[in-house]
């Protein structure tokens, strides 16, 4: 009887620790490539699947705009453990210790400067002095690459930041800007989803899509479990259906899936920063 009481007491004392370990929730902050509703429509089903498959609970944590989300990650990195971003490859931010474990497969992403197909503008230099809309100042391919190229050609434009990419496209087609800076996947996705036509004035070299990254504070076993769930998703019939539906929601390539990656896959980003003026980092 005394043995039973002892065991029962030990079970009670150990239960809070067990519950606490099982209730750990990691925040996942993907860059806002679309407005909040579409970003949530894309990511919530995916992170629900990853959470259930890995046994590691993730919850979506985003700001109002892509710049807000990145500012949140940088200012409160203790409170964000996983990201989907290409905003962390500058020399200064690499010191924060985020580790690449995966990326989304898409065809290579190219920075593009585009106008509506019926625009009278046919050459980049005709944008001099004009308003060009971008998702935000943190957008690597959509802003740093495209605006950086304009600057290198001494084409001075008035930058307008819409907060996310589909808002930037909406402003372009509403006549609030003469051109847009974006990436090829989002240009194609918006054209397919909304039936709009673009004239692309310039296209950059190709870059990998955004990276799945983990904070150095996350235990390795949890990173591995989350990585395995993301990477195996397209090979699981249930996961594949979720990916297809999520991609359809935002006009993304239907074949897009997640695959393993390391920091070496993002060497082209680091190379770009070597030539980028510090003011644009």
The distance of Cα 112 from the centroid of its chain, to the nearest Å, equals 17
- For residue 179, the SS3 value is strand
Residues 24-51: pLDDT tens digits? 899 999 999 898 999 999 999 999 999 9
For 52, other C-beta atoms within 10 Å of its C-beta total: 12
Q: So what's the pLDDT on residue 75?
A: 80
Residue recorded with tokens 């996705």:
189
Confidence bin at 276 (pLDDT 50/70/90): confident
Residues 101-122: pLDDT tens digits? 999 998 899 999 999 999 999 9
Check if the beta carbon of residue 33 is closer than 8 Å to that of residue 163. Answer: no
Min mean pLDDT across 54-68, 76-90, 139-153 is at 76-90
Q: So what's the pLDDT on residue 280?
A: 66
pTM: 0.82
Closest CA to 135 of 96, 83, 190: 190
What average pLDDT does the structure give for the chain? 89
**Tokens in use for 53?**
């498959």
Instruction: State mean pLDDT over 41-65.
Output: 95
pLDDT at 4 over 90: no
Q: So what's the pLDDT on residue 85?
A: 96
Q: So what's the pLDDT on residue 177?
A: 98
Residues 218-234: pLDDT tens digits? 999 999 999 999 999 99
């Amino acid at each position: 009887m005394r043995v039973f009481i002892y065991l029962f007491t030990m079970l009670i004392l150990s239960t809070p620790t067990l519950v606490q370990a099982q209730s750990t929730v990691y925040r996942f902050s993907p860059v806002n490539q679309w407005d909040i509703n579409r970003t949530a429509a894309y990511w919530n089903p995916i992170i629900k699947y990853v959470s259930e498959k890995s046994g590691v609970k993730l919850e979506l944590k985003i700001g109002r705009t892509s710049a807000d989300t990145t500012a949140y990650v940088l200012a409160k990195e203790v409170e964000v453990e996983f990201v989907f971003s290409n905003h962390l490859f500058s020399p200064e931010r690499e010191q924060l210790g985020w580790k690449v474990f995966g990326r989304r497969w898409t065809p290579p992403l190219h920075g593009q400067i585009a106008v509506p197909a019926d625009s009278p503008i046919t050459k980049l230099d005709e944008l001099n002095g004009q308003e060009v809309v971008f998702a935000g100042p943190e957008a690597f391919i959509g802003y740093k690459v495209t605006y950086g190229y304009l600057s290198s050609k001494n084409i001075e434009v008035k930058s307008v930041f819409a907060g996310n990419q589909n808002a930037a496209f909406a402003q372009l087609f509403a006549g609030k800007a003469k051109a847009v800076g974006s990436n090829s996947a989002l240009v194609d996705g918006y054209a397919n989803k909304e039936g709009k036509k673009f004239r692309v004035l310039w296209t950059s070299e190709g870059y990998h899509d955004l990276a799945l990254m983990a904070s150095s504070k996350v235990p390795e076993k949890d990173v591995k479990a989350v990585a395995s769930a993301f990477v195996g998703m397209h090979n699981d019939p249930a996961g594949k259906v979720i990916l297809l539906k999520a991609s359809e929601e935002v006009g993304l390539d239907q074949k897009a899936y997640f695959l393993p990656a390391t920091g070496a896959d993002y060497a082209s980003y680091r190379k770009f920063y070597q030539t980028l003026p510090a003011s644009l980092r």
